[in-house]
């Protein structure tokens, strides 16, 4: 028996903030994945860090068992500490692999409860694009018919500890509500989920986040990207990734050429990869 679970990562978030004393984010899943493999040919556990091991233990307990006798391995295309939901993708891949191997896959709400019990979680495991409470995993709103926006991703360098970042924010910022401009922009997504409005909202959120985690020369990057045809810019609000968002009908070659220009103009940015916005969720394969 071989069981495979794929969970996508993200290019930061479309938006993130606070409303009525509660945190929220709008997901930005892309086609890079964490993969968990379960086999009955061995009992070895490989590639699992502390959080993934905790996900394994908690899921086994959640399913009413005390141990997991099968072999399980974890691998990922996602760098850690960059704001690409690497930890969430790892955790969810393990949760679903273990649950499915024992009995059956869990519902997104059950996954959210388990994942949020380990650390602040991204919502990349919910189908579509969603707005959710990243501390509790609670779903706030779902946006369907996901436009396949092209995102050229850049890394500022360094890493950010998500748990420490959110802990510091709660302590130092007092969980104050986000500016009205951002909240109104996020509300507009339920009425207009076009590529243009998604990118507009992402840009507003990126600029708002400068007070919490500054991205050097962000305004200059946004201005230059837009002169080259980008719809807007999104960021990892608790990470180091910046994404330039382009219309789904733009050519990939055009976007990659512009990405090279951006990297030359802003030497502190390192081009990472170009991907498309996709629907969140997971894929389970058995053979």
Domain definitions of the chain by residue range = 2-142+279-286, 145-276
Q: Give the distance, in angstroms, between the CA of residue 143 and the centroid of all CA atoms in the same chain.
A: 15
- Classify domain 145-276 at the CATH topology level: Alpha-Beta Plaits (3.30.70)
Single pTM value for the model: 0.94
Q: Residue-wise pLDDT tens for the chain (287 aa)?
A: 899 999 999 999 999 999 999 999 999 999 999 999 999 999 999 999 999 999 999 999 999 999 999 999 999 999 999 999 999 999 999 999 999 999 999 999 999 999 999 999 999 999 999 999 999 999 999 998 999 999 999 999 988 776 666 555 555 455 689 999 999 999 999 999 999 999 999 999 999 999 999 999 999 999 999 999 999 999 999 999 999 999 999 999 999 999 999 999 999 999 999 999 999 999 999 98
**Structural tokens at position 251:** 């050519």
Was domain 2-142+279-286 assigned CATH 3.30.230.10? Answer: yes
**Structural tokens at position 178:** 């986000």
Q: Do domains 2-142+279-286 and 145-276 have the same CATH topology?
A: no
Q: What is the DSSP string of 80-102?
A: TTSSS-HHHHHHHHHHHHHHHHH
Q: Are residues 56 and 98 in contact, defined by beta-carbon separation less than 8 angstroms?
A: yes
**Structural tokens at position 113:** 């409860």
Distances (CA, A) of 211 to 135, 138, 172, 248: 21, 26, 12, 31
Q: How many CB atoms lie within 10 A of CB 63?
A: 15
């Amino acid at each position: 028996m071989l069981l495979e679970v794929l969970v996508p990562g993200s290019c930061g978030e479309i938006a993130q903030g606070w409303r009525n004393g509660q945190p929220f984010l709008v997901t930005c899943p892309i086609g890079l994945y964490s993969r968990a493999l379960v086999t009955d040919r061995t009992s070895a556990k490989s590639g699992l860090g502390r959080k993934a091991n905790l996900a394994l233990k908690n899921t086994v307990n959640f399913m009413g068992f005390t141990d997991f006798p099968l072999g399980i391995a974890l691998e990922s295309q996602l760098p850690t500490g960059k704001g690409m939901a690497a930890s969430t993708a790892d955790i969810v891949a393990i949760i679903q692999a273990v649950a499915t191997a024992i009995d059956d896959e869990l519902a997104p709400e059950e996954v959210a409860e388990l994942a949020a019990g380990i650390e602040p979680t991204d919502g990349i495991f919910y189908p579509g694009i969603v707005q959710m409470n990243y501390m509790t995993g609670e779903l706030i709103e779902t946006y369907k018919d996901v436009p396949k926006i092209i995102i050229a991703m850049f890394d500022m360098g360094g890493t950010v500890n998500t748990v420490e970042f959110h802990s510091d924010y709660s302590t130092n910022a007092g969980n104050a509500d986000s500016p009205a401009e951002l909240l109104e922009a996020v509300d507009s997504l339920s009425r207009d989920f076009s590529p243009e409005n998604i990118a507009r909202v992402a840009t507003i959120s990126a600029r708002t986040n400068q007070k919490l985690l500054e991205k050097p020369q962000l305004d200059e990057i946004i201005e230059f990207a837009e002169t080259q045809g980008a719809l807007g810019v999104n960021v990892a609000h608790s990470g180091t990734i910046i994404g330039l968002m382009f219309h789904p009908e733009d050519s990939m070659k055009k976007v990659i050429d512009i990405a090279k220009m951006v990297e030359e103009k802003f030497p502190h940015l390192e081009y990472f990869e170009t991907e498309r916005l996709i629907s969140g969720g997971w894929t389970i394969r058995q053979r």
